[in-house]
Structure 1
Amino acid sequence: IASADVVWADETPVRVLDVKKTRQGYLWTFLTQTAQGEWLLGYRFSLGRASTTPKEVLGGTRGALVVDAYTGYNAVTLPEGRVRVGCWAHVRRRFFEALPTAPEAREALDFILALYRVEALAREAGVVRTDAHRELRQQQSLPVLSALRAWMESQAPRHLPKGPMGQALSYALKQWDALTRFSSDARLPLDNNRSEAALRKVALGRKNFLFVGHEAAGENLAGLYALVATCEANQVNPEAYLADMLLRVQTHPHSRIGELLPYEWMRRRAADPPDSPRQLSP
């Protein structure tokens, strides 16, 4: 994941058992898509939300990093790291929350909807992440962005800075460079929804097991989430995968451990079905 050109990232809190109480920990997700279309989802556990985890995973790498506005990722972005790519879903959420007190926020939502309609056109035409996709963005998304920027600048003096609408405008304007980078690079998405979706299972876990027992348990949880989530993202049956992989990993050569990653395992299973005499060698 760290060697990929485009990486999505996000984090969410998880309670960790301490002496007679719990403390705050975090599960981070870092994910990417290979040139062959396979999704790789990684998770990391930490006891804090500082920039330590992003630096451990992405420090010294180059490319694009799709994240929200959290400053903890600054340590691995420009000027010496990755190019930061903003999230229009976060921008939209803030304008939506401003609607009850500022009905004019509907205009911002309409502008953002227009950006997503361009992406829908690219999907329908089957040109996603191609030069044709970039050209479509240049022709149709750029005018929308220009009009939205002008509208926000005209609206900013009319709203209290700490009000919902003022905060929504400030959030978007401060991130403008990161939010508009997608228009010149077809590889970049409009939002960070992929990584948010990857953390939904963590939110479900919070409701079920409430907390992890200690730091090592959090690290184990992150590893298990990575395997199961990567299975799900690549249409691999997690139960069948784990049942087979946990036996193979005991004797599989360490230098070839990548062969047991979910998508590699599935590729080899497709080439050598279970009833075939040439199954994946241990």
Structure 2
Amino acid sequence: MYKQHSYVCKKCERQGITSIKKAPVPKPLISNSLGSSSIVTETIIQKFQQKVPAYRQEKYWKSLGLDINRDNICNWQITSSKQVLQLIYDVLHEEIVKQDIIHADETSYQVIKSDKAKTYYWLFCSGKMEKRQVVLYHHAESRGHEVPLKFLDGFTGYLNCDGWGAYPLLPNVTLVACAAHIRRKFYEAIHSKKESSKSSPAYIGYSYWQKMFQLEKKWCDLAPEERLAHREKELKPVMDEFWEWLDNLDAMPKSKLGLAANYAAKQRSGIMEVLKDGRLEFSNNKAERMIKELVMGRKNWLFSTSLKGAHSNGVILSIMKTAELQGLDTRKYLNYLFTEIPNLAIVDHQTLMDCMSWSPTVQLNCK
């Protein structure tokens, strides 16, 4: 809360001149509202970090003497997302499509006021070696290829993803398959048939990928050039041996082993890309960990009422997860944005760059 003092010149008044001066007051995040920067920040922290939905926050705020209901909380988050965080999100979007490596994943989500029974969140995040780490959650009503086609317009690098059919339809993008998905298919084939023998085909297929992951684990902290050299010397022979084994495998097409073999065969060219660039990850686990943040929240929130609410969820999570990867205190950073951006004299690309999570000023104030 700010107190604004007004000043008047008595001498001027005696001469019939009215001269009133008021001390400047910072612009609030949301005018004529209890939703100050700090309160809105706290509602966001509770929902997205602690996974407490808006209706369960009501009692907490009333215990502090603030008569805040779930509608207030939801509307504040949508408004602050639209007026402040969306500006940062758009700059992050520009940044990620200029990078060389992106990881992608997607998950379903329910929106009550949507014509679709299911909507989707698409997750796009920077590769491990990118200097500026970006995480973006994009809400869409479709899981079709037109969504990443539009969102990744201008991107021409490597896209690390699973076997979902939308990704191969993207032009000018080199797909990198996820070895964890291939390994998982063979692992599921073992347990579906209760095969524990190490001589079973499903276990043999699984053991090949397990060996490859053990090799990759040893090289995870190496420079890209060193990792690539090790891959060529040690990983490639194991891969070649697996593909030769797979070519000679006789499995029922509809069995879990057959499905695992078919999936691996389709992902062959994608997973072999790791032998061309040491910056590439052997799995898409980074994207899966990021999408799990949303999945855990979904278990508590259950759904969004409107498409605006679902969109704001994605924007807010994007800002928070990107800030975390830059080593920031998320609470401090959100409060910083909610305080600084409404009071910028000019909002342009340069002033917004000064508000990005990697800027020296933000790093100094929000650690």
The interval holding the TM-score normalised by the smaller chain is: 0.7 to 0.9
Q: 1:262 matched to which residue of 2?
A: 357
Matched, 1:176 2:304: no
Which runs of structure 2 are paired with 1:11-26 in the superposition (5 Å)? Answer: 11-18=106-113, 23-26=117-120
Say if 1:14 and 1:25, in contact at 8 Å, map to a contact too: yes
* Alignment CA distance shift 1:36-1:22 (3 Å): closer
| Counterpart residue type for residue 122 of structure 1 | W
| SS of corresponding position for 1:211 | coil
| Counterpart residue type for residue 127 of structure 1 | L
How far residue 22 of structure 1 moved from its aligned partner, in angstroms, is 7.6
Of 204-213 and 113-122, deviating more is 113-122
Q: 1:278 matched to which residue of 2?
A: none
Q: 2:219 matched to which residue of 1?
A: 122
How far residue 81 of structure 1 moved from its aligned partner, in angstroms, is 1.2
Following TM superposition, the consecutive aligned residue runs of length 4 or more in structure 1 with deviations greater than 6 angstroms are none
From 339, 343, 356, the equivalent of 1:251 is 343
| SS of corresponding position for 2:105 | strand
Structure 2 unaligned segments of length 5 or more: list them.
Answer: 1-95
From 38, 51, 61, the equivalent of 2:145 is 51
Say if 1:12 and 1:199, in contact at 8 Å, map to a contact too: yes
Q: 1:277 matched to which residue of 2?
A: none
| SS of corresponding position for 1:29 | strand
Which runs of structure 2 are paired with 1:69-148 in the superposition (5 Å)? Answer: 69-76=163-170, 80-100=171-191, 101=193, 103-123=200-220, 126-129=221-224, 131-148=225-242
How far residue 134 of structure 1 moved from its aligned partner, in angstroms, is 0.8
* Alignment CA distance shift 1:54-1:244 (3 Å): same
How far residue 117 of structure 1 moved from its aligned partner, in angstroms, is 2.2
Which runs of structure 2 are paired with 1:218-233 in the superposition (5 Å)? Answer: 218-233=310-325
Matched, 1:163 2:255: yes
Of 141-150 and 213-222, deviating more is 213-222
From 191, 208, 214, the equivalent of 2:306 is 214
**Partners in 2 of 1:11 and 1:36 — Cα distance?**
21
| Identical-pair percentage | 22
**Partners in 2 of 1:90 and 1:173 — Cα distance?**
12
**Partners in 1 of 2:354 and 2:301 — Cα distance?**
32
Say if 2:101 and 2:158, in contact at 8 Å, map to a contact too: yes
Q: 1:201 matched to which residue of 2?
A: 293
Say if 1:44 and 1:53, in contact at 8 Å, map to a contact too: no
How far residue 205 of structure 1 moved from its aligned partner, in angstroms, is 1.7
How far residue 36 of structure 1 moved from its aligned partner, in angstroms, is 6.2
TM-score w.r.t. the length of structure 1 is 0.87
Say if 1:236 and 1:263, in contact at 8 Å, map to a contact too: no
Query: What's the Cα RMSD here?
Result: 2.0
**Partners in 1 of 2:203 and 2:150 — Cα distance?**
41
**Partners in 1 of 2:354 and 2:127 — Cα distance?**
17
**Partners in 2 of 1:94 and 1:183 — Cα distance?**
22
Give 1 or 2: higher strand fraction. 1
| SS of corresponding position for 2:206 | helix
| Counterpart residue type for residue 212 of structure 1 | S
How far residue 160 of structure 1 moved from its aligned partner, in angstroms, is 0.9
From 101, 104, 113, the equivalent of 1:9 is 104
| Counterpart residue type for residue 227 of structure 1 | I
Aligned residues: 262
Q: Considering only CA atoms, is the larger Rg found in Structure 1 or Structure 2?
A: 2
Structure 1 unaligned segments of length 5 or more: list them.
Answer: 275-282
